[in-house]
Amino acid sequence: MLKGKVVFTKENEVLFAVDPTKLKGRDAILLYALAKKVLMANKKIDDEIITNAEIIDKAKLTKSNVGVTIMRLKDKKILMPSGSGYELPTFKVAEVLNSLKNNKD
């Protein structure tokens, strides 16, 4: 699911391999959250928390788009508050993968 959409740098950063502005805001945020979860699972980073500012920077989405989309994802319990940001709970990964797979262009 991540292959071809995001890449991981040697510094364990997540970069979009496709223009994230061409994705739905929701999909860009979920792809980024999944990629951070993969890095965390492989013990490449210390936490998988994503923040609004980080998403705005990496996904090139507008502040209002990110804010509204994260609130919707939080309301649906897809993203959970964690520290100063949000994280994708492990029990939601399969649901998110199915959602992204079903939204293919």
pTM of the model: 0.90
For 1-28, the pLDDT digits (tens) are 577 888 899 999 999 999 988 999 999 9
Indicate whether 104 pLDDT > 70: no
Residue range 19-38: mean pLDDT, rounded: 93
Nearest-angstrom CA–CA distance, 99 and 15:
21
Question: Per residue in 55-93, is it b (16+ CB within 10 Å) or e — as a string?
Answer: beebbebeeebbeebbeebeeeebbeeeeebbbbeeebe
For 75-101, the pLDDT digits (tens) are 999 999 998 999 999 999 999 998 888
Give residue 83's identity as a one-letter amino acid code: G
The CATH number of 6-102 is which of 1.10.10.10, 3.30.1280.10, 3.30.390.30, 3.30.830.10?
A: 1.10.10.10
Residues in the chain: 105
Nearest-angstrom CA–CA distance, 23 and 28:
6
Q: What is the predicted pLDDT for the residue at 105?
A: 43
Q: Spell out the domain ranges in the chain.
A: 6-102
For 59-69, the pLDDT digits (tens) are 999 999 999 99
Residue range 30-41: mean pLDDT, rounded: 94
